[in-house]
Amino acid sequence: MIEMNTAELKEKAKTLRAGDRVLLSGVVYTSRDAAHKRINALIDEGGKLPYELSGAAIYYAGPTAAREGMVIGSCGPTTSGRMDVYSPRFLDLGLSAMIGKGERSDAVCDAIQRNGAVYFCAVGGAGALACKCITECEVIAFEDLGCESVKRLKFENFPLIVAIDCVGGNIFKSGRAKYRT
């Protein structure tokens, strides 16, 4: 198990390999379909982004409201493929890591390699457990989107697996190949 802080991702992403298990700590931003669309428009317009893309980690999640005494509600990953139309551009602008579930397009895989980034998968269906690894949550943009607003989270030993690395490793492809024979 590799313990890592998001502040190290820009450099350490290049050392991670598909299949590595990581406990990630540090600042991560939630962003899904509607938020990605707005961020993309802000880039086109030269507007101020809700967070600096360079070196950032995005978690494709739409957390539920926190219950009394909790920082955040259930916070599991959403299907990453819906963000594939925006991801290559965000990666080219310096995004270091994406966290979600499911396969990614060839264009995203190419952008991960081109930019020395990484795609992590989180366990789907375990959002109630995942929230126990989140120590801070603050809405920072697009509050009108409700659970899909952009949030600044602080992870503490959030369990992930490297799904796609910057040298072409891809657990979705290698896993299928392993069990086909």
Identify the pLDDT of residue 143.
Answer: 95
pLDDT recorded at residue 110? 98
Element (H, E) at 121: strand 118-121
Task: Give the pLDDT score at 178.
Answer: 64
Q: What distance in Å separates the CA atoms of residue 158 and residue 75, rounded to the nearest whole number?
A: 11
pLDDT at 126: 65
In 3D space, the residue among 27, 23, 32, 180 whose CA is nearest the CA of residue 101 turns out to be 32
Q: What is the pLDDT of residues 27-56, one digit of tens each?
A: 999 999 999 999 999 999 999 999 999 999
- The rounded Cα 161 to chain-centroid distance in angstroms is 12
Per-residue model confidence (pLDDT) at position 140? 97
Domains in the chain: ranges and CATH: 2-180 (3.20.130.10)
| Rounded distance between C-alpha atoms, residue 57 and residue 96, angstroms | 6
Cα 32 from Cα 49, distance rounded (Å): 15
* CB contact at 8 A, 86 and 65: no
Structure confidence at residue 130 (pLDDT): 78
Residue numbers in the chain where pLDDT is lower than 50 = none
Question: What is the b/e burial string over 83-107, where b = at least 16 CB atoms within 10 angstroms of the residue's CB?
Answer: bbebbbbbbeeebbbbbbbebbeee
pTM (whole model) above 0.85: yes
Q: What is the pLDDT of residue 176?
A: 62
